[in-house]
Amino acid sequence: MKQALALSGQGLVTNQLEYHPYLDQHPLVSATREAGLAITAYCGMAVGRVFSDPLLRAIARRHQRGVAQVVLRWLVQQEGVVALSRTTLLDRLTENAAVFEFELTQNEMAAIATLVRPGSRIVNPPDLAPVWD
């Protein structure tokens, strides 16, 4: 990101990164905010891992929401984060867009952040990925 910022003749708008409850992205999220860019999060569903998570399921039950909504809400409730999501089902598209009428508590936000586990990076193509921070 720093190289791209230095080399670009135009201002950059966003940094798109893998971001879900299991991957610690604190260094990159902070650096992206400091650089004045939006954070665009992909792989929020952690290739389906979120759907069987007991904590996420409990929070979803409490709010009478789906797990995907809880994850997307957790993302967009963080400063400067835009969440990408993808579905082949129209009903899920509507569900996934409906994350602006409820709010997670600070305790719930913090609890989701404790789900970070080593080795949770998903997108890591051998010939393309950098040495990660």
Ligand X SMILES: NC(=O)c1ccc[n+]([C@@H]2O[C@H](COP(=O)([O-])OP(=O)(O)OC[C@H]3O[C@@H](n4cnc5c(N)ncnc54)[C@H](OP(=O)(O)O)[C@@H]3O)[C@@H](O)[C@H]2O)c1
**Footprint of ligand X on this chain (CB under 6 A)?**
16, 42-45, 66, 68, 84-89, 92, 95-96, 123
> What is the arrangement of strands in the sheet containing 81-83, beginning at the earlier edge strand?
14-18, 38-42, 81-83
Displacement of CA 38 from its chain's centroid (Å): 12
Q: Which is nearer to ligand X, 13 or 106 (CB)?
A: 13
Token readout for 55 is: 């904590």
Query: Are the C-beta atoms of residues 82 and 40 closer than 8 Å to each other?
Result: yes
Least distance from C-beta 128 to ligand X, angstroms?
9
The residue (of 33 and 49) whose beta carbon lies closer to ligand X is 49
Smallest separation (angstroms) from ligand X to the CB of 56:
12
By beta-carbon proximity to ligand X, the closer residue of 101 and 106 is: 101
Phi, psi of 93, deg, nearest 5: -60, -45
